[in-house]
A and B are shown apart, each in its own frame.
Chain A
């Protein structure tokens, strides 16, 4: 088993940005009206051309991935990682260049794609398997393994809308994991699911590459997962190849040079461009912001409180909307998550929610924020945007810093200002 599994030569993808902003979609009436206008213009001899901006999501990308290797793709949001995976899994067509692929490709761009909430676990295994390209006989053969891996034996005949989100993700991953493709393309699936299951998935993926000689292409913002799982990494920056090489080195360089402070990120809605607000027909994420002392800030003093602001558009009446933030440090370790479990019942419109984080939580580091807008009953993830905000956390000369008067390296990924009670005098048995 030698040679390359994926060979990419000069791959490019261009998107056109329409100059008309705030246009949700191409409307037939506008096209007809535009054609009529153009006709009149041509008759009157006045030439006018609509200007469009081009945007290269990928530019002249070339690399090769040997068979049986697990390779990570790292880069900021908008660096072209998702576009690359979408081209390799044939969802979109490249504008130029080519990719040669040897073997069956299975892409896990989002777990549970094609799951239908009304159908039972059993029915969804067959449906999802077929969508991922499995034959019915193949699914039947692997059915028991899938069920055992997902640990959902008792709920096989329950509609998945009654599943917990953990069960849902387990089942979805299991179907894809048993697809046994020659090339597995994985995008951020590990952002969900509990820690034990994440470990199990990582184990399964490691097993797939090591024992079965399969190729894995892995996109993640979790740098510790990247280094654990992959030996090689590809670093994309602005749609171009920045570096290829040993995963540990690439991750270190990427964190050192491509890291950024993002105190605010906004999206357009309605829109159809690359800045289209993420979400679905229920809710769209419009903005995320980091505040300290009522000001946008990319540098946060860990001894003062701060706020994360989430702005979103509700498109139709919703109930049980859960906003949440996950905070991750520069090593990719999840620090904590906080969801709002109040039964948010909201009508259509724009909303803003703020999460207040008290003083003395973070250690000095670079923190990334994932924003999620999800629903329960049934579990539907409308927005799950990893890594959209970044801020540096710095210590300051506070009244009573956690580190006290010590100026060296302080241990711990968090720096919680937990209260120490005063010393209490207790009876000493040695003293009569």
Chain B
């Protein structure tokens, strides 16, 4: 059986691209599997790391907020914080790892062909696995404070999908920028740090003035974190915010893919 003819020509990769992506779909799994395996082989405390990081962050934030006497909403503060930290951690680590993934795998990318989007894509998946492990923490904290899940909890995967789209979109942007401008990686941690304060992790999004609320929701993590908090019964659902965040995440993902595809053609020459 003959495989169809492949034509290599300037600016012609588009046609085969999505077909190749499907053909290489297992590589997503293998690259993510490699990174997870290596990470947990090297770390002495192994898998506990995924839980320990948000746990420490939660402890610090809870202490700070107790001092500041921030409003609690319907549930104890640790639950409120935990429901925000988990998606935030996922988002932040996915964006950071996807952003650095191309440069880190330069050796691979200059030697073998496969759809390049797999590299940042699998970096996001690695963070997702970490997130899934760390949900144990949320379950634990909720049980400890006797907050029992209602039917709302089933909506959580929806908000996770939103976070995934936003993280993948921004991660692709950063990966492309990072490959092109190597000093960008110095700006990356700073931007993520800034994002922490621009997202309602330490506080409730309802604290923002009503007239600014929709503008604020352009940060897709506003919709994600509000959604997670709503799922554990902490806040009320705010449709306009959620829809703005969804639109913004979709735009981010779409433009991220477009920009990445443009950059990708010359990638091997850049690295």
**A residues in contact (CB < 8 Å) with B:** 15, 24-29, 31, 86-105, 107, 109-110, 113-114, 116, 118-119, 123, 126-127, 130-133, 135-136, 182, 280
Contacts and interface: CB of A to CB of B under 8 A. Distances in A.
A89 B7 contact: no
From A110, A133, A135, residue with most partner B Cβ within 10 Å: A133
B268 A102 contact: no
A25 B182 contact: yes
B111 A133 contact: no
A94 B9 contact: yes
A133 B30 contact: no
A93 B182 contact: no
18 contacts: A24-B182, A25-B182, A28-B184, A90-B13, A94-B10, A98-B12, A100-B5, A100-B6, A102-B3, A102-B5, A103-B3, A107-B112, A113-B108, A114-B112, A130-B24, A130-B26, A130-B27, A131-B112
B10 A91 contact: no
A98 B6 CA distance: 10
Contacts of A114: 108, 111-112
B269 A135 contact: no
B182 A118 contact: no
A105 B6 CA distance: 10
B107 interface: yes
B181 A27 contact: yes
A182 B3 contact: yes
B10 A113 contact: no
B61 to A, nearest CB: 32
Interface string B153-185: 000000000000000000000000100111110
Given A25-B182, A103-B2, A119 B37 contact: yes
B37 A28 contact: no
Given A25-B182, A114-B112, 4 more contacts: A26-B180, A31-B181, A90-B13, A113-B112
A360 B23 CA distance: 58
B269 A109 contact: no
A101 B5 contact: yes
- Give the size range of B's interface with the partner: 35 or more
Contacts of B33: 127
Contacts of A88: 8
A110 B34 contact: no
A103 B1 CA distance: 9
Contact of A89 (B10, B23, B113): B113
Nearest to A114: B108
Which has the most chain A C-beta neighbours within 10 Å: B33, B107, B109, B269? Answer: B269
A275 B266 CA distance: 18
Contacts of B29: 130
Contact of A99 (B8, B112, B113): B8
B265 A93 contact: yes
B110 interface: yes
B183 A86 contact: no
Nearest to A106: B112
A97 B5 contact: no
In the A-B complex, the 4 residue pairs with the closest CB atoms: A28-B181, A90-B113, A130-B30, A25-B182
B26 A26 contact: no
B114 interface: yes
A101 B34 CA distance: 31
B267 to A, nearest CB: 9
Interface in B25-47: 26-27, 29-31, 33-34, 37-38, 41-42
A94 B13 CA distance: 11
Contacts of A119: 34, 37-38
A107 B2 CA distance: 19
A99 B109 CA distance: 21
A309 to B, nearest CB: 28
Contact of A116 (B38, B181, B184, B187): B38
A28 B183 contact: yes
A186 B37 CA distance: 30
Given A26-B180, A133-B114, A98 B108 contact: no
Contacts of B41: 118
A131 B26 CA distance: 9
Contacts of A29: 183
B112 A27 contact: no
Tell which of B10, B31, B41, B268 has the most Cβ of chain A within 10 Å.
Answer: B10
A300 B43 CA distance: 55
Contacts of B110: 91
A202 to B, nearest CB: 22
Most buried by A among B3, B9, B26, B112: B112
Given A92-B268, A92-B269, A130-B26, A26 B111 contact: no
Contact of B111 (A103, A105, A110): A110
A422 to B, nearest CB: 58
B5 to A, nearest CB: 5
Interface in B53-97: none
B112 A102 contact: no
B3 A126 contact: no
A94 B24 CA distance: 23
Contacts of B183: 25, 27-29
Contacts of A182: 3
Contacts of A31: 181
